[in-house]
Amino acid sequence: MTINRSLLVWQCRLMLPVTLVAMLFAVGYAAFLPGLLRWHTDYLALLFITIHGWWLVLSVGRPTSGGVAFLYGNGFDRDTLWRHTLLASALAVGTVWVPVAILIWSPLRGVIQSWLYDNPEFSLMAPLETSYPWFLLLGYLVWIPMLHYAWIREAQPFRGGNSGHWLAVAVVVASFTMGNAAPLRQAPPWMINSFVGAALVLSGMLLLAGRRLHRDLEVRA
């Protein structure tokens, strides 16, 4: 698998504005939010992933948008385009996620909280936040393939083009329902692992199906 740098750069450029805005917001949030970052209570993070992912895929994964449609007329085969789109999305997500993870996993956030807010929960409680970046990553792992799939599904030459978007809505509703209805903090590890497993299976299915459907995608610029 070769990487076409020009193609990747082109796609990354499409996502540059959203990546910069999202990175600033995420880093600020992770550094300065007082109180513990707990994955089972942080609805704001869920909302952030939803909006960030949507904006990201809208920039690079919507076949009808000018910048993306242009690529389909330049001789790249469909699988190459699919690979590079996913790689660019991963890089963009990584640009946001890595600084946040470093902040949380290093003593940096504890120092900021301690120094700025005199927060009683730091640094004692810092270990409780270690799973938080993984939760963010899992959210992206489900959400980005889902949105790519939705746009690819819309451009298929058969009926039901909206079903991908409806599925995306279902995923969002399900995520918030999970957070709201279940006191996940008390869940036994096997149940958490089952949820994570289900999410990974979901992500894998969407990636594989997206790749296959991408070959039959009709570009209507």
Q: Which stretch binds another protein (CB under 8 A): 4-12, 38-46, 90-98, 193-201?
A: 193-201
∠ at Cα 134 (129, 135), nearest 5°? 85
Residue 41 near another protein by CB under 8 A: no
Residue 201 near another protein by CB under 8 A: yes
Which residues between 79 and 138 bind another protein (CB under 8 A)? Answer: 118-121, 124-125, 127-128
Q: Which stretch binds another protein (CB under 8 A): 38-46, 54-62, 85-93, 206-214?
A: 206-214
Q: Is the peptide bond before 106 cis (omega within 30 degrees of 0)?
A: no
Give the separation between CA 71 and CA 118, rounded to whole angstroms: 52
Q: Do 110 and 122 contact (CB within 8 A), yes or no?
A: yes
Q: Which stretch binds another protein (CB under 8 A): 20-28, 53-61, 95-103, 152-160?
A: 152-160
Select from 177, 193, 219, 221 the one that contacts another protein (CB under 8 A). 177
Give the separation between CA 174 and CA 22, rounded to whole angstroms: 23
Give the separation between CA 67 and CA 62, rounded to whole angstroms: 9
Other residues' Cβ atoms within 10 Å of the Cβ of residue 179: 17
Give the residue among 196, 193, 188, 149 at the shortest CA–CA distance from 170: 149
Least distance from C-beta 91 to another protein, angstroms?
26
Give the separation between CA 101 and CA 61, rounded to whole angstroms: 26
Select from 17, 28, 98, 212 the one that contacts another protein (CB under 8 A). 212
Give the residue among 26, 31, 1 at the shortest CA–CA distance from 94: 26
Residue 181 near another protein by CB under 8 A: yes
Choice between 17 and 204, CB closer to another protein: 204
Q: Do 89 and 143 contact (CB within 8 A), yes or no?
A: no
Residue 157 near another protein by CB under 8 A: yes
Applying CB under 8 A, which residues contact another protein?
Answer: 118-121, 124-125, 127-128, 149, 153, 156-158, 160, 163-164, 166-167, 170-171, 173-174, 177-178, 181-184, 186-188, 191, 194-195, 198-199, 201-202, 205-206, 209, 212-213, 215-216
